[in-house]
Amino acid sequence: MAEGRWRRRLRGFWWKLPLLFVALSVAQVLCLRFIDPPLSAFMVERWLGEALSGNPGFRIANDWRDLKAISPNLPVALVAAEDQNFASHHGFDLDAIKRAQAHNQKMVERAQRRGTEVKRLRGASTISQQTAKNLFLWQGAGPTRWLRKGLEVWYTALIEALWPKWRILEVYANVAEFGDGVYGAQAASRRFFGKDASRLTPAEAARLAAVLPSPRRYSAAAPGPYVARRAASIQRQMRLIGGVGYLRSLD
């Protein structure tokens, strides 16, 4: 009898877990609409990875700055570089996804014909998706990749529903990795340019945006040919989307 009651209670508990997750995740995102996160999941994952690999002295560089304390050149550069439909989409840019799929299919077919590895695959993640992933989830392909992708969709939908666009951009500018272990606009500006994030020029902001999404491969402080070309292109796109006046289009 007691064992039967225990089993019934256990079965009754399991179906409540999805509801509990929904409630907790909504509360989590709603709180971070008003509270600045001191760390992101990616920062914690990086620090733990370094500690477990025998480098417990590794330190994350991060220093939160509100959007109004960051040069408007940087958020404009991020939009110009990564998500020019940021102001109008609802978390997912379907047109960009279609273009990326067509491009990647072409790259795969070209690699198959040549018998070489596939290179230059294009992503279509929006700033909203990247914010959700950086803040709440984990990296890597592994066996949990599809679970992470599903959670990314959920958290992206939540932040789009519960945060204004300017808040999404503010959080992203503070949690994005711009160099090896260097997260956020202020830490990156100090590390690479020796100045406060409020003083970033358009060229410097474009260089920070140009190293994404591979900040450990490329350097904003000593840009090579690729970063220099990409930064110049980003500056042109910054002007085309309206420069710092673009930020007035965000709610």
Element holding 129 (H helix, E strand): helix 127-136
- pTM (2 decimals)? 0.88
In angstroms, the CA 41 to CA 64 distance is 15
Give the three-state DSSP class for 64.
coil
Residue 186 corresponds to which tokens in the numbers above?
């202020």
| Alpha-carbon torsion (163, 166, 169, 171), positive or negative | negative
Give the residue from 86, 118, 81, 87 showing the smallest Cα distance to 103: 118
Looking at the DSSP assignment, which residues form a beta bridge with residue 183? 62, 177
Residue 119 has what pLDDT? 62
Q: Which residues of the chain have pLDDT under 50?
A: none
Residue-wise pLDDT tens digits, 193-206: 999 999 999 999 99
Residue-wise pLDDT tens digits, 211-227: 998 999 999 999 999 99
Residue 139 has what pLDDT? 86
The class of domain 39-87+163-249 in CATH terms is: mainly alpha
Q: How far is CA 2 from the centre of its chain?
A: 50
Residue 3 has what pLDDT? 59
- In the chain, where the domains are located: 1-32, 39-87+163-249
